[in-house]
Structure 1
Amino acid sequence: MTSTATPPGLARFNALEEHAALAALHEACASTAWARRLLAARPYATAEDLCTASDAATADLTPGDLEEAMAGHPPIGRPEPGDPASAREQRGMAGASAELRAQMLELNLAYQEKFGHVFLICATGRTGEQMRDALRERIGNPPELEREIVRTELGRINRIRLATLVQEDRT
């Protein structure tokens, strides 16, 4: 028989006071509009319901909301000091050679100059070389295409971070 009870980690998230839930969501994604939309839809019965709501909220982000979300992400190869999420997600750059780090810095700067924002990629599970190659490929995109790729990557990152947020053993 299948249990219909809400998983403990998700139940904990559902029960958080509004300000605490908003802060937790803001850690997952820096877009206030995204966080407020997810907050307004609580409680969630399953983690997949939460992720589906995240996908819908991400799809509806305005250009300004998307910029706000991207501003919460450090450049690839330079995780934010004291931010375990970005360090964990960018683990593929941890053992990168000095040459690869220099290439990423140069490419990141060129990308930022062209598009006006940080290069955003779901780095989880990717090597430094894979991220560099993706950056090389995407820097040639027109802005409209790149904005949609960024939205897709943000959605992937949000799903991973939400899964971490509602883990059962999170303290």
Structure 2
Amino acid sequence: MKNLHGDAKDFLMCCGSSKFAAEMAKSAPFSSLSQAVEASRTIWWNEVDVPGWLEAFTAHPRIGDLEALKKGAPSAHWSKVEQSVAVETANVTVMRELSEWNQKYEEKFGFRYLICASGKSSAEILANLQNRFSSRPIEELQVAAGEQQKITEIRLGKLFADRDSFSQTTANQRLGQVLGHIGSSVEESKVSLPSHLSVPNQISPTRPPITTHVLDVSRGKPGAGIPVTLELWNVPSKGGESRGWISIGSSVTDADGRSGPLMAPSSNVMAGRYKLTFGTATYFQNSNSSDDTNGTTQCFYPYVSVVFEIKPAQVSQHFHVPVLLSPFSYTTYRGS
């Protein structure tokens, strides 16, 4: 198995903390990408202090800062690739709002807004920035540090892909599929890579981070055929104008009362307020026509909406939000 080498300058491109880069160089060479990633986690969370974290944050160009992306910093090319989807999906209004919210964020927290931008649109990033703005400084510092570690792991994969003589295009495509969304809200793909570039402890998510099912307690059976929608609350813009709910996905419950996927499978979910809406009137109308009730069972709630909040510290958890339903009442809880 080939050893993976790197000096402090190489590791500084992966993470802008000089302490991190120096400690990684001391730990090199690595027998695999897995070993390098594990070392990076240990160093980042146990040996790099808060000033080192802030140094790393500052090394990144601000999200949406096109001029900074054009500059010739050693990692500028990687930043440009990582923000490519955001740049391609942006318009003048979104770019202006990103700039305004970046400024507000830095004024509140004292450090640069950071997100693992790979695969994320400008609208997704703006919504994430706005949602995180309400966090407490100590919570936000931890979240930003976690985003930096995601970026570091992606870049370690790219660094060692280059060392293994992959073409830059092939390396970006193949490693992007496996590493590009580590811990992000984008579905991961299974790709065959050389053994020394294996990803440590990464299992592709098999379910969305938010799921639900319905049980009709009046009939003692699953609530099948119920329309379900999932929405995310978009925080007010700088002028204070509310934008309301943003649709994420919709489905219909199956024979077991479980909804189909309302969002892509992922190990993480964006912090914020979510709303599940169930089309109960449609369900009871269809049930009355199929049951021997002569249509006498009425529905008091034409629909049921369940609003819940996911905190920044909970973004790696799974949220199962079931509903126990009858024509005149409903109950909800957080399941597992």
The interval holding the TM-score normalised by the smaller chain is: 0.7 to 0.9
Return 5+ residue gaps in structure 1 as ranges: none
For 1:53, the equivalent position in structure 2 comes to 39
Match of 1:86 in 2: 79
In structure 2, C-alpha distance between the alignment counterparts of 1:58 and 1:131, rounded to whole Å: 24
Matched residue pairs, number?
Answer: 157
Report the alpha carbon displacement of residue 22 of structure 1 after superposing the two structures with TM: 1.0
Counterparts of residues 55-134 of structure 1 (less than 5 Å): 55-60=41-46, 61-78=48-65, 79-81=68-70, 82=72, 83-95=76-88, 96-134=90-128
Q: Which runs of 4+ in 1 moved over 4 A?
A: none
Aligned counterpart for 1:139 among listed residues 127, 133, 152: 133
State the Cα deviation string for residues 84-141 of structure 1 (Å, max 9, x = none): 1111111122221101101101110100111111100000111111111100000110
How far apart, CA to CA, are the structure 2 residues paired with 1:130 and 1:93? 8
| Structure 1 residues 131-157: Cα deviation after superposition (integer angstroms, max 9, x where no partner) | 111000001100000010011101100
Deviation at 1:37, TM superposition (A): 1.2
| Separation (CA, whole Å) in 1 of partners of 2:35 and 2:19 | 18
Aligned to 2:15: 29
Q: Is contact 2:85–2:119 with CA below 8 Å preserved after alignment?
A: yes
Q: Which amino acid aligns with 2:63?
A: I
Check whether the contact 1:51–1:159 (CA below 8 A) recurs between aligned residues: yes
Q: Secondary structure at the match of 2:114?
A: coil
Q: CA deviation at 1:160?
A: 0.3
The AA in structure 2 aligned to 1:159 is: E
TM-score by length of 1: 0.87
TM superposition score normalised by structure 2: 0.45
2: distance between equivalents of 1:31 and 1:136? 26
Larger relative CO (CA 8 A, sep 6+): 1 or 2? 1
SS at match of 2:97: helix
Letter of the 1:169 counterpart: S
Equivalent residues of 1:121, 1:153 under 8 A apart: yes
Task: Give 1:170 deviation, angstroms.
Answer: 5.1
Please tell me whether the aligned partners of residues 58 and 154 of structure 1 are also in contact (alpha carbons under 8 angstroms): no
CA distance in 1, matches of 2:157, 2:165: 12
Q: Which runs of 5+ in 2 are unaligned?
A: 168-336
State the AA in 1 paired with 2:87: A
Q: How large is the Cα RMSD of the aligned pairs?
A: 1.4
Q: Counterparts of 2:117 and 2:152 in 1: how far apart (Å)?
A: 12
Residue 160 (str. 1) matches residue 140 (str. 2):
no
CA distance in 1, matches of 2:38, 2:134: 31
**Which whole-Å deviations, capped at 9, do the CAs of 1:15-36 have from their partners, x for residues lacking one?**
x5xxxx1111111111011111
Greater percentage in helix: 1
CA distance in 2, matches of 1:58, 1:129: 29
Query: Which one has a bigger Cα radius of gyration?
Result: 2
% identity of equivalent residues: 25
Query: Whose strand fraction is larger, Structure 1's or Structure 2's?
Result: 2
In 1, distance between residues paired with 2:109 and 2:85?
24
**Letter paired with 1:62:** D
Letter in 2 for 1:97: N
